[in-house]
Structure 1
Amino acid sequence: MFFLVSKVLGFLIAPSNLLAAFGVVGAVLWIAGAGSLGGAVMTLSILGIAVCGLSPLANILLLPLEERFPRAPDGIAPAGIVVLGGSFDTLVAGARRDMSMTSAAERLTEIAGLARRWPEARIAFTGGSNQMVLDGATEADLAARLFESFGIAPERLVLEGKARNTVENARFVRDLVSPRPGERWLLVTSAYHMPRSMGCFRAADFAVEAWPVDYRTRGPQDAGRVFAAVSGGLGRLDVAVREWVGLVSYRMLGYVDALLPSP
């Protein structure tokens, strides 16, 4: 039920969807004869698209998330590396019989280098499918094929293919790898997603160290950087709002012990 609600809520709260919906409502009001009100709503929609798509708003919302957890020091060799799903388009991959990847692909490409740097570390991937309908593949199946192409030995891999959200990622992969006290594990995921991920792993009593990748901003200097295209700003704003709503909802449901987990 939580998975279904989260997907529906995610669609409804995406700024790009909301702004488009305002435009449609305004048009309907205009056609229905409420010209003044319809025109005002459509104007708000157009202004909202322009401001949200071109202003630095998306960067301002992403920066506190991306700057929250610095990358762990190299230190001693880890016993294992956990990488979260979200990098495959399972719908397209299932239809095309190929490894179709999303903008979060760096979560996976980073593993090629880490596997070589620490050749004894286990590689644990967790990710099932985030599609409600028309699904054709699990991320774990696709990750197995990709890691094999990296030259990673199959015996090093631990593949979890049932998790549909970050809470399940933490719980399911913990049960599979059974981390021992004192073992060092790294967590690889997008920098903006790291606070929520670390909160979930702590709640699951799985001690991991952050290894953020897939940065969307350059750093604090991007707080004033405007976008060259409306689509770029709106897309990034959707990501930022979804992550902040996820943090708030996870805190309210008790999945994490802080609104914005800290290092």
Structure 2
Amino acid sequence: MPACPSSPQNCSNTFAVICKQIRKVVKQISTHQGNNKVGFHLVKIIQILLMPPALMFLIMLAGGLLMRYSRPHGKRIVIAGFALLVLASLPVMPALLTPLMEDTPPLAKAAIRHTNASAIVVLGGGSYPQAPEYGNDTVSTTTLERLRYAAYLHRQTNLPVLVSGGRVFKDNRTAEATSMRAVLENEFSIPVRWTEDQARNTWENAGYSRQLLARENIKRIILVTHAMHMPRSILCFEAAGFEVVPAPMGYHTHAGGLSLRHFLPDARALSQLNTLMHEIIGILWYRLRYL
């Protein structure tokens, strides 16, 4: 990349050109993604490679390859990748960073009946495909947590419920929303009025939900999803034209503050940091692609 000219105005212009080129590339990938399944899965693969632990392994792999040409530089990169992997596995990292994403306050119990919303929209959070104990597809643990809170809100408000989620991967024989509806109706005794079963991501959750609810002139909704997923969800649903009453749940709480265990490697910390990075990358991607 050429050096940035000394003039602040020229620097700004150079940065604008770079951003424009990035947007152009993103649009090209997006067009490819929208036209076929290969593009959709390509984006998913790129996203995985940009998150821990894959990102750290890529850094170490790059360092290993560089060692063939410059052993000192390659060795430093390998060490840096390993150090990042260890750092990412320390519980102190998600403990400090997660509150930055889980910044939407919970819906106060006293306010639940006074939201002026016309519907509850609950987003799918993954499937449990071909569950052997049930003999078919069902909802994941993440989705079940969201359904539980949606059921609680329905009992408090008696608002109609929309479930949203399609078939993201081919091993899902059943759309997420179909399984979500079955669980809400059969296990929680909560009726589901709308089933949105086409969406493959949060942006599509918002768009397809808008199509369904616009038919009944419903614009103001209570939106149910995990606290960490809520910022991206609000971004998408407001862009689709909704007035959103956030109802986040599933916060990562750290009662008692930091302790020795927060500085010992833990696979769960790596998983939580992966989820955090997934949300950050998702927001950046949607802003580049759609907004």
Match of 1:250 in 2: 286
TM-score (structure 2 length as normaliser): 0.73
Q: CA RMSD in A?
A: 3.2
Deviation of 1:33 after TM superposition, in Å, equals: 9.0
- Contact in 2 for aligned 1:82/1:125 (Cα 8 Å): yes
Match of 2:240 in 1: 204
Fraction of identical pairs, as percent: 29
Counterpart selection for 1:124 from 139, 143, 162 = 162
Counterpart selection for 1:49 from 82, 85, 93 = 85
Question: In the alignment, is residue 138 of structure 1 matched against residue 169 of structure 2?
Answer: no
Change in Cα spacing, 1:104 to 1:46, as seen in structure 2 (3 Å) is farther
Match of 2:128 in 1: 89
Match of 2:145 in 1: 106
> 1:130 corresponds to which letter in structure 2?
V
- Contact in 2 for aligned 1:87/1:107 (Cα 8 Å): no
Counterpart selection for 2:99 from 43, 63, 69 = 63
- Contact in 1 for aligned 2:119/2:218 (Cα 8 Å): no
Q: Deviations over 1:2-23 (max 9, x none)?
A: 5334312211111211112334
Q: Deviations over 1:162-193 (max 9, x none)?
A: 00111111110111122766864200011111
> 2:121 corresponds to which letter in structure 1?
V
Q: Deviations over 1:219-256 (max 9, x none)?
A: 8957x98265431221111111111111112112234x
Once residues 16 and 205 of structure 1 are traced to their aligned partners in structure 2, the CA distance between those partners, rounded to angstroms, is: 36
Once residues 69 and 249 of structure 1 are traced to their aligned partners in structure 2, the CA distance between those partners, rounded to angstroms, is: 24
Q: Deviations over 1:82-115 (max 9, x none)?
A: 001114234658x951425144532122122222
Match of 2:13 in 1: none
Q: Deviations over 1:107-154 (max 9, x none)?
A: 1221222222223x11101100222x433221011112101221123x
- Contact in 1 for aligned 2:104/2:246 (Cα 8 Å): no
Change in Cα spacing, 1:35 to 1:147, as seen in structure 2 (3 Å) is same
Structure of greater relative contact order (alpha carbons < 8 Å, 6+ residues apart): 1
> 1:188 corresponds to which letter in structure 2?
V
SS at match of 1:89: strand
Change in Cα spacing, 1:68 to 1:113, as seen in structure 2 (3 Å) is closer
Deviation of 1:38 after TM superposition, in Å, equals: 5.2
- Contact in 2 for aligned 1:125/1:140 (Cα 8 Å): yes
Once residues 20 and 129 of structure 1 are traced to their aligned partners in structure 2, the CA distance between those partners, rounded to angstroms, is: 30
Change in Cα spacing, 1:183 to 1:33, as seen in structure 2 (3 Å) is closer
- Contact in 2 for aligned 1:63/1:219 (Cα 8 Å): no
Once residues 255 and 219 of structure 2 are traced to their aligned partners in structure 1, the CA distance between those partners, rounded to angstroms, is: 32
TM-score (structure 1 length as normaliser): 0.80
Residues 160-175 of structure 1: pairs in structure 2 closer than 5 A: 160-175=196-211
Change in Cα spacing, 1:78 to 1:220, as seen in structure 2 (3 Å) is farther
> 2:168 corresponds to which letter in structure 1?
N
> 1:111 corresponds to which letter in structure 2?
A
Deviation of 1:52 after TM superposition, in Å, equals: 1.2
- Contact in 2 for aligned 1:69/1:194 (Cα 8 Å): no
- Contact in 1 for aligned 2:146/2:226 (Cα 8 Å): yes
Once residues 264 and 72 of structure 2 are traced to their aligned partners in structure 1, the CA distance between those partners, rounded to angstroms, is: 32
Match of 2:21 in 1: none
Change in Cα spacing, 1:18 to 1:215, as seen in structure 2 (3 Å) is same
- Contact in 2 for aligned 1:63/1:220 (Cα 8 Å): no
User: Does 199-208 or 16-25 show the bigger shift?
Assistant: 16-25
